[in-house]
Amino acid sequence: MKKFWKTVQVKENSINSYEILLDDNILKTPLKKKLIISNAKIAEEIYKEWNQDTNLINTDDMIFYGIISTSIDKIYINRKLYIDDVLNFVDTDLICYRANKPIDLVQWQSKNWDPIISKVEKYININNKINIFKGIMPLRQDKEIHLKITLLLTKFSDLEIAILHRITNITGSIFLTLCILKNDKIKKNAFELSYLDELWQAENWGYEEEASKNRENINNELNRIIYFLDCLRQ
């Protein structure tokens, strides 16, 4: 998008209600809905995204604007679709599928991923253990796990669902994402935990420049989303 505005400012309408003005025009979502922001820090970050010193703006790179817009344009009117999409990861969760060999990778996965499983089991208070499978054949988690996670997701706000959906699709793990939303300390290592296999292979077989650059971009995006979550909870 070519930059057509000269000034950007945050307008405070009332306590915990902010809008972004491009010149004198109120910033809207892609579906032309008013972008009302209830958090001063998030409003400030969206301001920064639109106040870049460049003539060309790529809204796909605007993580804060994108999350807010998704919650307003899509999740508000179709929460179930997004919740169901996230629930599909319960049976395909990255950290539940483990390598058979080599032993170094097997041990590395266990050391890093087993604590996540334990945290989630405690978090959602389940009686049956989360299944872990070595191989590529699909598994099915216990019905209780599906029900407990479904109940948990229904309690999340639209913004939290937008964050959850985005992180789960990046990491391939709803269990890791639930720990992140729980504000667990492992959020600092979210990228390393979700790309553990790929990083292990690179460490042992060598780094490839394009793949390394792609991982760097994903890491930056993930950290930005987690920062949004931190701002939301301040």
Determine the pLDDT at residue 185: 87
Q: 149 CB contacts (<8 Å, ≥6 apart)?
A: 87, 90, 124, 174, 178
The rounded distance, in Å, linking the Cα atoms of 165 and 188 is: 19
Determine the pLDDT at residue 80: 95
CB 141 within 8 A of CB 130: yes
CB 186 within 8 A of CB 180: yes
Residuewise pLDDT in 10s, the chain (234 residues) = 888 899 999 999 988 899 999 999 999 999 999 999 999 999 999 999 999 988 888 999 999 999 999 999 999 999 999 999 999 999 999 999 999 989 999 999 999 999 999 999 999 988 778 999 887 777 889 999 999 999 999 999 999 999 999 999 999 999 999 999 988 788 999 999 999 999 999 988 888 889 899 999 999 999 999 999 999 987
For 183-207, the three-class secondary structure string (H helix, E strand, C coil) is CCHHHHHHHHHHCHHHHHHHHHHCC
- The domains of the chain, with CATH numbers, are 8-57 (no CATH), 79-232 (1.10.3580.10)
Determine the pLDDT at residue 208: 87
